[in-house]
């Protein structure tokens, strides 16, 4: 398979050398990228428009956003380090 995109051609050549298991991993990774692309293209609404929505719709949107970001907050401790870092210095400053 040849495309007019040199980067795609280079990736295809590299993928052809991988084991079947590695190819499955690449496919999963590409699927993840495609999902992120789709998520980014969703329509954004401003705060005023959001507040005009019925409460049930607002709750549905917020619940969906919580589900999408929950893994980040439960598995990535980097953000917690920043929060704790700030609190330590605030406590020291007050003393």
Residue 26: CB atoms within 10 Å: 14
Phi, psi of 41 (to 5 degrees): -80, -5
Tell me if 35 sits within 8 A of 64, measured CB to CB: no
Helix (H) or strand (E) holding 67: helix 55-75
Query: 63-75 pLDDT, tens per residue?
Result: 988 888 888 778 8
pTM of the full predicted structure?
0.39
Give the pLDDT band (50/70/90) at residue 79.
Answer: low
Q: Where are the domains of the chain?
A: 1-42, 44-95
- pLDDT average, residue stretch 49-60: 92
Give the pLDDT band (50/70/90) at residue 95.
Answer: low
> In this predicted structure, what is the pLDDT of residue 92?
62
> In this predicted structure, what is the pLDDT of residue 63?
92
């Amino acid at each position: 398979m040849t495309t007019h995109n040199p980067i795609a051609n280079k990736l295809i050549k590299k993928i052809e050398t991988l084991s079947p298991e590695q190819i499955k991993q690449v496919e999963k990774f590409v699927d993840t990228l495609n999902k992120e692309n789709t998520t980014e293209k969703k329509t954004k609404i401003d705060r005023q428009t959001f507040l005009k929505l019925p409460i049930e719709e607002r709750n549905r949107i917020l619940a969906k956003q919580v589900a999408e970001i929950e893994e980040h907050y439960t598995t990535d401790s980097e953000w917690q380090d920043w929060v704790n870092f700030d609190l330590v210095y605030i406590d020291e400053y007050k003393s």
